[in-house]
Amino acid sequence: MDNNRIEVHFTHPRNAQTFTAELDPNCTGQVALQGLIAGDERGPFLEQPAPGRPYQLALKRNHQLIPPNTTFADAGVTNGDVIEVRQDLQGA
């Protein structure tokens, strides 16, 4: 693994699946989510979000959301961290 990159594990919002990725710490939350939607050779990890139901990322270690334009480095993400994907709820 490139010394400048970190390995993180994403958990799916609705099932037990995880997705492990090597990322540049300067990757933002938004870019990471785009990557999870694009997926890899196995297919997308996340389906396209319905309008009004955006995905959000949260660092499991400190229970803090990672905003779309915040880098993983600024959010304190380090090698081996688990990132939870949550999906917002629309109804009222």
* Positions that interact with another protein (CB under 8 A): 50-52, 54, 56, 58, 62-70, 75, 84, 86, 88-92
Q: Give the nearest distance from C-beta 3 to another protein in angstroms.
A: 27
Question: Would you say 6 or 85 has its CB closer to another protein?
Answer: 85
Distance separating alpha carbons of residues 25 and 41, to the nearest angstrom: 23
Could you give the C-alpha distances from 26 to 37, 47, 70, 89, 91, in angstroms and in order? 19, 24, 9, 28, 34
CA 83 – CA 64 distance, rounded (Å): 10
Q: Least CB distance from residue 67 to another protein, whole Å?
A: 3
The smaller minimum CB distance to another protein, of residues 18 and 40, is found at: 18
In terms of CB distance, is 38 or 50 closer to another protein?
A: 50
